[in-house]
Chains A and B, each alone.
Chain A
Amino acid sequence: QAQLQESGPGLVKPSETLSLTCTVSGGTISSYYWTWIRQSPGKGLEWIGYIYFSGSTNYNPSLKSRVTISVDTSKNQFFLRLSSLTAADTAMYYCARDRGEYYDSRGDAFDTWGPGTMVTVSS
């Protein structure tokens, strides 16, 4: 049973770049769509984007200009970089596994989640 764990700074200054790591244990990263999702305080879930183990990526259009997701299969880790931070980026950031297939949405499911890491953007 795969487990995910986010890590990164809890406090970041405005205009800086956020870097988060998601470590996958108990399973291989060499399959599935590895996803970042965030949740602002008191708000709903927002899909940020994913990376496929092969390296292909897809991003939320509202964040696309500021987001980069990458993967290191040798370390079973994937990463989120979000630039030009503002207070609006303050949120709980989750990494999750999407076991769906590109051409068939029947299997789309974020079936494994990390516990989340809270990121506050403040000077």
Chain B
Amino acid sequence: SSELTQDPAVSVALGQTVSITCQGDSLRSYYASWYQQKPGQAPVLVIYGNDNRPSGIPDRFSGSSSGNIASLTITGAQAADEADYYCNSRDSDGKHLKIFGGGTKLTVL
């Protein structure tokens, strides 16, 4: 089975740019999606297919992937972006299992 590794916590100054990374061998073969979760709420999809943004998600959110690392970038972070962020992809065994990263808590200073 595979693992997706995320930094537990990241901080960014208001209005600055921050990248949250997700590392795992399965990312060499499969696309990543990203989810934002605020306290007491269900997660919300913010990026899928490595770099696709669903309708309604602000364009300050973007995604990329290279090798075994997927990244979520917030350009011009807002106070409303303070949340937990989780990456998701498939397990590398090819059996269509899904795995989440451990999550990154983003603090906007």
B-contacting residues of A (Cβ < 8 Å)? Answer: 35, 44-47, 50, 58, 60-61, 94, 98, 102, 105-111, 113-116
Q: Which residue of B lies closest to A115 (CB)?
A: B42
Which of the candidate stretches B12-20, B75-83, B97-105 sits at the interface with the other chain? Answer: B97-105
CB <8 Å contact, B86 and A44: yes
Name the residue of chain B whose CB is nearest to the CB of A104: B31
A110 contacts B35, CB within 8 Å?
Answer: yes
- Tell me the bound Cα distance from A107 to B33 in angstroms: 9
A105-B89, A108-B31, A116-B42 given; name 13 further pairs at CB < 8 Å.
A35-B98, A44-B86, A44-B102, A45-B88, A46-B100, A47-B100, A94-B42, A98-B98, A102-B96, A107-B48, A109-B48, A113-B42, A113-B43
Of B1, B90, B98, B101, chain A has the most CB atoms within 10 Å of the CB of B98
With both beta carbons as reference points, the residue of chain A lying nearest to B31 in the complex is identified as A105
Q: How far is the CA of A115 from the CA of B101 in the complex (A)?
A: 21
Quick one: given A61-B1, A115-B42, are A105 and B90 in contact (CB under 8 Å)? yes
From A60, A110, A111, A114, residue with most partner B Cβ within 10 Å: A110
Neighbour of B43 across the interface among A50, A61, A102, A110, CB < 8 A = A110
| A60: B residues at CB distance < 8 A | 97
What residues make up the interface of B, taking CB atoms closer than 8 Å to A? 1, 30-31, 33, 35, 37, 42-45, 48-49, 54, 86, 88-90, 95-103
Contact A106:B95 (CB < 8 A) given known A44-B102, A47-B100, A113-B42: no
Give the complex CA separation of A29 and B94 in angstroms: 25
Task: Give complex CA distance A50, B98 in Å.
Answer: 10
Q: Nearest Cβ in chain B — how far from A7, in angstroms?
A: 15
Contacts of B43 in A (CB 8 A): 45, 94, 110, 113
Contact assessment for B86 and A45 in the assembled complex, using a CB-CB cutoff below 8 Å: yes
Instruction: Please name 27 pairs of A and B residues whose Cβ atoms are closer than 8 Å in the assembled complex, sorted by A.
Output: A35-B98, A44-B86, A45-B35, A45-B100, A45-B103, A46-B100, A47-B88, A47-B99, A58-B96, A58-B97, A61-B1, A98-B98, A105-B31, A108-B31, A108-B49, A108-B98, A109-B45, A109-B49, A109-B54, A110-B43, A110-B45, A110-B88, A111-B48, A113-B44, A114-B42, A115-B42, A116-B42
